Amino acid sequence: MANRDTSVAQLCKELGVKPVTLYRYVDPSGNLRDHGIRALASP
């Protein structure tokens, strides 16, 4: 995300998610949002 060489569309295709889902967990700068932090913290 912070890497301008990374295409959001390509990353979403690779992960099998929609951009809205990706941005729920990661902000445009590549930092984890609250949802991302909680997802990584859950067992």
List, for residues 2-23, the tens digit of each pLDDT value.
667 888 999 999 999 999 999 9
Predicted local distance difference test score (pLDDT) of residue 3 = 67
Residue 20 tokens read as 């809205």
| Cα 23–chain centre separation | 5
pTM of the model: 0.75
Predicted local distance difference test score (pLDDT) of residue 27 = 93
Report d(CA 42, CA 7) in Å as an integer: 28
SS3 content of the chain, % helix, strand, coil (to 5): 55, 5, 40
- pLDDT level of residue 36 (50, 70, 90 thresholds): very high
**Whether pLDDT at 31 is above 90:** yes
